Structure 1
Amino acid sequence: MWTVSPPSGLFQYAKKLFLSEQAGRAQLAEFVRKNVANFISMANLVVGLSSVLCSLNGQYHYACWLILTGFLLDLADGAVARQLNACSALGAKLDDFADFTSFGLATALLLQAHGVLDGLLVIAYVLAVFTRLCFFSSGIPFTYRGLPCPYGASVLATTYLLTGGNLVVMRIVAMVMILFMVYQGFYPHDKVLESQFWKKVVFAGGVLMMLFSASHFASLYYLIWSTSYIIFPRALWSYKV
């Protein structure tokens, strides 16, 4: 019986095709590893822009929940970048821009400026967030200068939800958050997903509250979480593995 052997060129072509597919998959996996944290920051940016649109259309309730979603995303992106060894200058800039959008512009719109004084407060809040993002470095590892703006935004968003949008209370809280952000005291780096187990549970609880809990209980949960960081930064939230 005669057997016909395939041309050697066909084997070479199949081998090259297989190797190129392997190389393509490896490049795709490396691209995802390097950029997954950037995708999370982009999601935070999109959430912030969506919150801005909601506020401009008078849908402040939805705007608040989008800000709280950005709060969770902001805690996750840095942890993912460090875990995958994918920190970069681009990622840091993207994270700052997303934070400014979600926790600066979007949060300030909750104050609903109806006059000159209200407008000045909105501008002051945005400038406080801008200043905080520009000059947060303390020179000490795992330490910030001034209150991280996601926590100020979380307090404002939950205050709006719990008070039904009482603007007098909102503006008082905003002034307090401005003072905390421009204050040059030290706050611990909030590596919630890289620290003690109970902090990871708090984060998971925030996700579950967002998805399944009633609005009032979820708002109270985030308010307690954020104010505990503001009032007891070192006693509770110092970075510990």
Structure 2
Amino acid sequence: MLMQVPPYGFGDLTRKIFQRESSSHYETMEFVRKNAANFLSLANLVMGLSSVLCTLNGSRQCAAWLLLVGFMLDLADGAVARQLNACSALGAKLDDFADFTSFGLATSLLLHSNSLLDAMLVIVYVLAVFTRLCFYSSGIPFMYRGLPCPYASAILACASLLTGSHTIVLRAIAVIMVLFMIDQGFYPHDKVLESQLWKKVVFAGGVVMMFCSFSPLACLYHLVWSMSYILFPEALWSFKL
């Protein structure tokens, strides 16, 4: 004799639907938590690719602004990953690929012209960024070896905007940035969003100036910020809680 299974009551059905929705919501939130930093790295990658397209279309000002946006995204993605406990090997690779695209390829194209000298400088700059990202591990906690390429990119982007892409100025700055990147000097880990309050204010000020005022003042702000990291790395930007 077959036993008949009583149908679910309305209360049981409602509870099962609620549990299913809660489980789906939790899975969605967990996915967002684990990949929030990756989304920022992808956004940085998109900024770099967009900057390349802008440069190829002759819109160098737009290309430089996109690099500064990528600079801000790069400073945020590591902090977000650590705060959400979502660091992963995939995230590290994605961050390096985004950095190489934005701060290597896209930045080097700001130097591009019909000159053979500039073409060679573009290749040297890209190789310097590649070397910096692949082989310059300091082995010391909270320290970089060689100037981090986002700061070199920010300085070049600001110089391009403030000088109207002046060829000689950009060449000189690019050579200096290459020397800093392949140098054996140490630079502190710039955990801007995880350190003193004033550093967080500097970051917030950069975001406000970028999105509220695409002006020479915003360029000057980021230029001073980046230069201070190069000139006073330990005095100003060493990692402190």
TM-score by length of 2: 0.95
Query: 1:101 maps to what in 2?
Result: 101
What whole-Å deviation, never above 9, does each CA across 1:115-159 have from its counterpart, x for those lacking one? 222111100000101111112321111000100000000000001
The alpha-carbon deviation at position 214 of structure 1 amounts to 5.3
The question of whether the paired residues in 2 share the 8 Å contact of 1:147 and 1:187 is answered with yes
Letter paired with 2:27: Q
- Cα distance in 1 between the residues matched to 2:67 and 2:170: 15
Preserved contact between residue 51 and residue 67 of structure 1 (Cα < 8 Å): yes
Aligned to 2:221: 221
Query: 1:40 aligns to what?
Result: 40
Q: Which amino acid aligns with 2:143?
A: T
Of stretches 80-89 and 16-25 in structure 1, the one that deviates more from structure 2 is 16-25
Cα distance in 1 for partners of 2:120, 2:214 equals: 34
- Superposition map of 1:37-186 within 5 A: 37-186=37-186
2:3 maps to: none
Amino acid in the other structure paired with 1:109: L
RMSD: 1.3
Separation (CA, whole Å) in 1 of partners of 2:92 and 2:8: 51
Deviation at 1:200, TM superposition (A): 0.6
**Secondary structure of 2:124 counterpart:** helix
SS of match in other structure, 1:144? strand
Shift of 1:10: 4.0
Corresponding residue for residue 28 of structure 1: 28
Distance 1:206 1:12 in 2: 53
Choose 213-222 or 101-110, whichever is displaced more.
213-222
Percent identity among equivalent residues? 68
SS at structure 2 position matched to 1:187 = strand
State the aligned residue count. 236
Which secondary structure does the structure 2 equivalent of 1:210 belong to? helix
User: How far apart are the structure 2 equivalents of 1:155 and 1:8?
Assistant: 67
C-alpha distance in 2 between matches for 1:214 and 1:20: 47
- Determine helix, strand or coil for the equivalent of 2:187: strand
Unmatched 5+ residue regions in structure 1?
1-5
Distance 2:76 2:136 in 1: 19
1:111 aligned partner, one-letter code? L
User: Please, which runs of 5 or more residues in structure 2 have no aligned partner?
Assistant: 1-5
Specify the code of the residue in structure 2 equivalent to 1:130: F
Deviation at 1:8, TM superposition (A): 3.8
What SS is found at the alignment partner of 1:190? coil
Which AA in structure 2 matches 1:180?
F
CA distance in 2, matches of 1:214, 1:80: 26
- Cross-structure match for 1:201: 201
Distance in 2, Cα, partners of 1:92 & 1:204: 24
C-alpha deviation, 1:213, in angstroms: 2.9
Deviations 1:160-203 (CA, angstroms, capped at 9, x unpaired): 11111111010010000000000011100010000011101110
Mean Cα displacement is larger for which, 18-27 or 85-94?
A: 18-27
What are the superposed Cα offsets for residues 209-236 of structure 1, whole Å, 9 maximum, x if unpaired?
Answer: 1122351111111110000001111110
Task: Return the offset for 1:20.
Answer: 1.2
